[in-house]
Amino acid sequence: MKKYLYVFNYPRLEEGICLMEMRTLFEKDIIEKEIFSNKNIDVSDSVYINFKIEILHMDEKFENIVEKIKKEKIIMEEFKVEYYKIGNDETEYAERIKKTRSIGLEVQGEPNMKNPKTIYGIVKVKDIWILGIYKKNNFLWNSRVKKPMSYSNSLGVSLAKSVINLATCGDRNISIIDPCCGIGTILIEACKMNVNIEGYEINKKIYENAKINLKFYNCNVEITNGDMHEIAKKYDSSILDIPYGIFSHITKEEQQSLINKTREISKRLILISFEDLDYMIEKAEFKIIDRCEIPKGNFKRYIYTCM
C-alpha cells in the first residue's frame, strides 16, 4: 500500500505544464488525476494539487475499514471526518453522510466541525475505499499575484511555482540560480517553498524593483545586479526565463550564449521561452528530458527540462 494519495486538477490550457510537473514530482507517467505515491510532497508547493490523503486504510469493503478503526481505538481531540467525492465516484449524498458518521463514531475524542486540528478524509478510487489524514492546499500563492513592482515580461506566479518544481523534483535541498530574474517572481515563490535560490539581473532598475518585491514578501534571497556571464558559482539547477521582446533587445547569438552559460554553472536547466529553442539547447550540449507547451494568446510558451 502506498503512503499517500494526491488529487490534482488543472485548467484545460495548463494541462501540459501540470502533467509535466506531476511527472517530475512523482517520477512516473500520469494517467489519472489521482496519484498514489510514497513521496511526501507539501501539497501547497503545487498550484495543481488540491489535497492529499495520508493513507491509513484501503479496502474494497468500507465496513472492513470501520472494523479496523474500531480495533485501533483511536483517541483524537478536535477532529472532523469528511467525505471527498472525486473522479467518477457516484456515491449518493445520504450514503456519504452515513459513511462519514460511521467513522466519526469510532474515533474517541471531541469532534470540532469548525476548526478541526485533524481531518479524516474518506475517498473512493476505482471501487477501493480509502481512509486517511486529509491535507489541503492553502493556495497562499494567490495573494502574491499582484506585486508592488510589476513587469510586462514577468512570469505568472502559478508558472513560477511549476518551474521551481521542475527544477527541484520536490527536493528542497537543491540549489537553484535564476540568472535572468526580472522582478523576482521565481525567487519569491522559491523562498516561500523553502527552496535555496539566488538571482541575477542585469538591468539596474529591474533589479531594484526585484529587491522591493522581495522585501515586501519578507524574502531573504541573494540577488546580484550584473550580467549572468559573471556567475562563477555552481548550482544544481538553473531556471532560465530567456530574455525576449522589446524590453530586452537580444540576438539569437546572445540567447545561445546565455544557454551555454547555464550549461557551465548547472547540471539541470529549466528553460522558458516563447520560441522553439531545441537547436540552441542541443548546441549547448544539454539533452531535453521533458517538455511542454503552454498556449498564451496568439503565442505559446515552451518549457523544457534539460540535463
Ligand X SMILES: C[S@@+](CC[C@H](N)C(=O)[O-])C[C@H]1O[C@@H](n2cnc3c(N)ncnc32)[C@H](O)[C@@H]1O
- Judged by the rule CB under 6 A, the positions of this chain that interact with ligand X are 151, 153-155, 179-183, 185-186, 200-203, 206, 227-228, 241, 243, 248
Which residue matches cell numbers 470501520? Answer: 66
Which residue matches cell numbers 490523503? Answer: 53
3-class DSSP assignment, residue 22: helix
**Beta-strand pair 235-241/266-273:** parallel
Measured from the CB atom, the residue of 164 and 206 that comes closer to ligand X is 206
Measured from the CB atom, the residue of 37 and 158 that comes closer to ligand X is 158
Measured from the CB atom, the residue of 123 and 240 that comes closer to ligand X is 240
| In the complex, minimum distance from the CB of residue 233 to ligand X, in angstroms, rounded to a whole number | 14
Measured from the CB atom, the residue of 120 and 304 that comes closer to ligand X is 304
Measured from the CB atom, the residue of 120 and 151 that comes closer to ligand X is 151
3-class DSSP assignment, residue 84: coil
Q: What end-to-end distance do the CA atoms of the chain give, in Å?
A: 32
Note whether 164 and 195 are within 8 A (CB).
yes
- Residue nearest ligand X (C-beta atom): 182
| In the complex, minimum distance from the CB of residue 262 to ligand X, in angstroms, rounded to a whole number | 11
| In the complex, minimum distance from the CB of residue 64 to ligand X, in angstroms, rounded to a whole number | 51
| In the complex, minimum distance from the CB of residue 221 to ligand X, in angstroms, rounded to a whole number | 13
Note whether 286 and 263 are within 8 A (CB).
yes
| In the complex, minimum distance from the CB of residue 240 to ligand X, in angstroms, rounded to a whole number | 9
Alpha helix stretches (DSSP H) within the chain: 15-26, 62-72, 93-104, 157-168, 185-192, 204-216, 252-265, 278-283
